[in-house]
Structure 1
Amino acid sequence: MTGTGTPAHENTGTPAQGTARAERRGRPRSAAVDTAVVETVLRLLEQGVTIGELSMERIAREAGVGKAALYRRWAGKEELMLDVLRSLDDVSQPEPPGASVRDDLVVLLEFLRRRGLAKRSSAVLRTVVTQVKAHPRLWNEYHRTVVTARREAVFAVLRRGMATGEVRSDLDVELLAELFVSPMLTRALLHEWEDLSEGLAERIVDTVLEGVRPRERTFSG
């Protein structure tokens, strides 16, 4: 009681409520819970459960965590699924060495080739990607947050090449990036029976560069 007869916790809630609020503000996020939840979702998907059949309640129950703990970390299933996707795509794209446009593009395309091989060898990755593609909003968000950064790296290399004269400066950067990247992505994601052999990145880059290098002007007499 205060000197005025007013309960000391009247303006701040009960002691238990005050403790809960303090825990929410100061309690660090448990990496173990994050891992348990993501691994639970992957296990369920691998077992044939569809994204549509998953609910936050079921995920919490299967992971052995409270539903409140789940919602403290993710606002909903879409945000959780994005983290699940990122957990399978956590290999950082290498930093281009900056030696030449040709070498930098080879590094970036070789990364895509290796990711394509990893996808083919991972049943879980194939299952998750296939399911997420059936959810356009989720797939678009994944592209916005993950794939866009990789595209920007290719754009940066090409813009530098235009500035140094290694690539024609009158070309559209986005279209040009697609000419380099699309053959690898087509083989890796759409035509999974196609070969992803060593040297493919070099062959793609050299073939496209042959057509987009500046040409010397010839002058007639």
Structure 2
Amino acid sequence: MTTESKRAPAGAAVLREDVTSAIRQAVMYELAAVGYGRLSIEAVARRAGVGKTAVYRRWSSKLEMVLEIVSGVAGQTLPQLDTGSLRGDLEMLLRIVARALQHRLASQIIPDLLAEAARNPKIAQTLQEALHTNQREVSAHLVKRAIDRGELAADTDPETAVDLIIGPIYWRLAVARTPLPKGYVSSMAATVATALGATSGEPVASRGISG
């Protein structure tokens, strides 16, 4: 009787997910600490507790690594909100976005990458695609529900809606980096609902999400 020893497959098939996760986390912390310009593969590997080879087995360059990881985070799907009214949906969405933009890592990474995007077309394209696709999808669902409820006209443009919904809060938190005054989110939700031509709908409880 003979037994065959089983060999683990070589190459990408044996990449450990826990190592990949550690590297991804290290990239985010390094971006927040030093920015894209000063980020290095060596520093990422050191923070992740791995060798540089582990990083290079997954990504061929700093740019490729950052683009994949950041686009994955930026493109995370937001919950499909349905509070019963357009204004309620808007307020809930704005609170979620505000909380994300004020996260201690995001608040450092986003302004740095926006500045870097002005110099690097690949970063600009990646951010635009990841953010815009996600936001457009959420906005389309939000507008459709409001149309179905009779709050918005059937020809309401989701593209315009996403600019009105997301634009102001991105400007304040990611570009101007100005704290949100008390009551800003509720006021902005009401303003956007009016700007979109909402005919009815009152805000509902924020279900424990503050901001």
Task: State the TM-score, normalizing by the size of structure 1.
Answer: 0.66
Q: CA deviation at 1:191?
A: 1.9
Deviation at 1:64, TM superposition (A): 4.0
Q: Identity, % of aligned pairs?
A: 20
Are the aligned partners of 2:12 and 2:57 in contact in 1 as well (CA < 8 Å)?
no
Structure 1: segments with no counterpart, 5+ residues: 1-18, 216-221
1:205 maps onto 2:205 in alignment: no
After TM superposition, the structure 1 stretch with the greater mean CA deviation from structure 2, 91-100 or 145-154, is 91-100
Call closer, same or farther: CA 1:150–1:121 in 2, change over 3 Å: closer
Q: Is the Cα contact below 8 Å between 1:119 and 1:126 reproduced in 2?
A: no
Deviation per residue, 1:89-109 (Å, 9 max, x gap):
698634313422221111111
Measure the CA separation in 1 of the matches of 2:86 and 2:175.
27
Match among 55, 73, 91 for residue 58 of structure 2: 73
Long gaps (5+) in structure 2: 1-6, 201-211
| Structure 1 residue 36, shift from structure 2 partner | 3.8
**Distance in 1 between residues matched to 2:108 and 2:73, nearest whole Å:** 11
Q: Deviations over 1:96-130 (max 9, x none)?
A: 13422221111111112222333598545654554
Tell me by how many angstroms 1:84 deviates: 4.2
* CA deviations over 1:146-197 (Å, ceiling 9, x no partner): 442133112211122123211122332211321222221221122223x413
Q: CA deviation at 1:48?
A: 6.2
TM-score, normalising length: structure 2? 0.68
> Match for residue 50 of structure 1?
37
C-alpha distance in 1, partners of 2:170/2:112?
A: 18
- Please give the secondary structure, in 2, of the residue aligned with 1:118: coil
Which letter does structure 2 place at the counterpart of 1:149? N
Moved more, 149-158 or 112-121: 112-121
